[in-house]
Each structure stands twice: as structure tokens, then as C-alpha cells.
Amino acid sequence: MNLKNMRRRDFTRFAGGLGALAIGGRLLPSGALAQGKDTVSIATVSGIYAQTLTKLMINQGYLEQFGLEAKYVPVADGSKIIGALLSGEVDVCMGSGFPQVLPAIEKGGKLKILATASNAVMSVIYSGNPEIKSIKDLEGRTIGIGSLGAMVHTYVVAMLRKEGIDEKNVKFVNIGGNADIFRAVSAGIVDAGPGEPQFMFEQEKYKVHVVAEVYKALPEFIGQASYASGSVVADRRDVLVRTLAAYRRLYRFVQEGDSQDAWIKARSEAMGKDQSSEGLNQWNLLRQNKLMPIDLVMPEESVRWMQELNASLGVQQKIVPFDTATDMSLARDAIALEDKS
């Protein structure tokens, strides 16, 4: 497996290809719309899971079943997603790391969290140091992360605290993205850091071992959220409800349906090469750990927990009321719509 981040031009080509595909797989001329369908513009990110899920949505045609035509817009990272939503460039982000959304709302960003998009963080902590066998062994060690206060730093701190370790007693090293962090772990530059679950099946190749699976060690940390601007929630509520309903149908298909071959096919198409082994491993991980957010509705206590964690890290100054930060009525309506459709 190539550990390098997907090159920007490759991601742009991939996302551009998605934008040219109608739901159901029909090629459309640039800018063309399916007759009688409402359009929804969806921010897409460059992670393998996100790309696979998007390709699977296209292949299965669930948005079309709810009278929608999707325009996928590639966005580089979480902060740029927020900017794209607030500027009106896109209608909704259906899934990205959600800790950074809460500080943006606290600072006055007119955003609403609409639903859970992943039940936990799909990441694994690895180490190449044989002395490190558990999170408790990380005290006094170096840990590769991205920037302080960003997603990786936040969940690593939460894991350390859960094991009674003060984060001041480890040395955080800003390496960059997850692929860069994993390379640093594999090379022995840092003692530990996160990487994709796929590397659990390639430990000997990369001279690493598993320290902890984040989705098991920290199930209270919601991995991703769906969110939109307040103005789109007000003006296009029906479109957002139908979009959430279509994604719930997709989540149910992955979690409960006969979806193994479809997932592998979608991942292979998204990556442009055969991904039979990697796709099967990822599909098994999603199913076995029940990571697909079929319930959609994000619990109030989960939002408060995340805000308290953010506040303890200085990322937020105050706790935003649940009804200010979220609007779960859309998720509830989406569940009702998908159940009866």
C-alpha cells in the first residue's frame, strides 16, 4: 500500500469524476441536471473511507431514490469545509471530523450539526518500539500528531487521560497528516502515532505493532458529523432531510446488507486499482465494530463531552448550548422518511 497522501491533482480528478456522474452511474454533461430532481452540493474530503463511501453512494443510487442529484465538491480539510459551507459554495458536509465545528460555532459561525456520520474514530495507534505495548506505556514518549487542538491531538489526549496519563508527560510532535505520522512511526522517528486500520494486516511489512484501536479504546469519541450552515438548514431543510435519509440507507446497506462485494468494488474504483484485500479488511472492520451511524441522532451528552474536552485543551472558551450547536430534528425526520420509503 502506498503511504503517501493522495496527490491533490489525483483527488481533484477523482472528485471531478464524481461531479460528472449522476446518481445511478449515468454520465452527465458538465453542469447538467437530472430532470425533476433537486440538486444538493456535498463537500467531499480526500480520505480513503470518504472516497469509498461517496463512490458507493453513486453506485447504489440512494440519493436518486429520494429525488436528489448530487454535486460533489472536493475540499481539502475541515477548516476549508467550514469556509465552503459559510460562503454557500456547498450545501452540506456529510462527514468529517467534528471537534473543529464546535469552536467555529462558539466563535459565531452560523453552522448546525445535523447528525452523527461515524460512531467512532476509525484509526489505530501504532508503535515500532517493542517496549510500548499499551497506552499506559506512552508516558514519557514521543507521539506523532498533526497540529495542537486538531482531531488527532484531541483524541490522543482523550485516550491518555482515560488511562490516567497527564498529556504534559508526553512529547507531541507535529508531523502532519495521518500518512506522514504513520511513516514517522514506521521509521522510528516517533515512538507512536495513528495510522489506518489497514496497517494492522501489514505490521511486519512496516515494522510496527498495534498499541490500541481508537474505536475500541475510545468509543465515546464520535468520529465524524454531518453539518451545514444555518441558512441552508432554514432555506433547504427538505433537501437536507432527504440527503440524510439517503445516507442512512447507505449506512444501513453497509452495516446490515449484502454489501461486501459492493464495498470492495467502490473502493477499487475510488482508488483506481484493485483493492480486494484492503476493501474486505475495511468492510469487516466497519461491520464488526458497528461503526456505521444508523441512528443518525447525536446524543446531547456526546456533544457536551466533546465541548468539555475542547475547553480543557483551550480550543473552546465556553460550552455552546446543544440547541445552538445542533438541529437533530432533521435527523429524526430523515429516519422517519427512510423507514417509510
Of 91, 25, 31, nearest to 58 by C-alpha is 25
- Classify 76 as helix, strand or coil: coil
Enumerate the domain spans of the chain: 8-119+222-340, 124-217
144/173 Cα distance (integer angstroms): 5
pLDDT at 298: 98
CA atoms within 13 A on the CB side of 98: 31
CA angle 302, 307, 308 (to 5 degrees): 100
- C-alpha radius of gyration, the chain, whole number: 20
What length does the chain have?
341
Mean pLDDT for back-to-back runs of 10 residues, the chain (341 residues): 42 44 32 67 90 97 98 86 95 92 95 98 98 98 94 97 98 93 98 96 98 98 96 98 99 99 98 97 97 98 97 96 98 98 85
Is the domain 124-217 a CATH 3.40.190.10 member?
Answer: yes
The CATH number fitting domain 8-119+222-340, selected from 3.80.10.10, 3.40.640.10, 3.90.25.10, 3.40.190.10: 3.40.190.10
pLDDT at 192: 99
pLDDT at 5: 40
C-alpha grid cell, residue 259 = 454489501
Query: DSSP state, 99?
Result: T
Q: Do domains 8-119+222-340 and 124-217 have the same CATH topology?
A: yes
pLDDT at 35: 56
pLDDT at 341: 85
In this structure, are residues 116 and 294 in contact, taking their beta carbons and an 8 Å threshold?
no
- Classify 273 as helix, strand or coil: coil
pLDDT at 100: 86
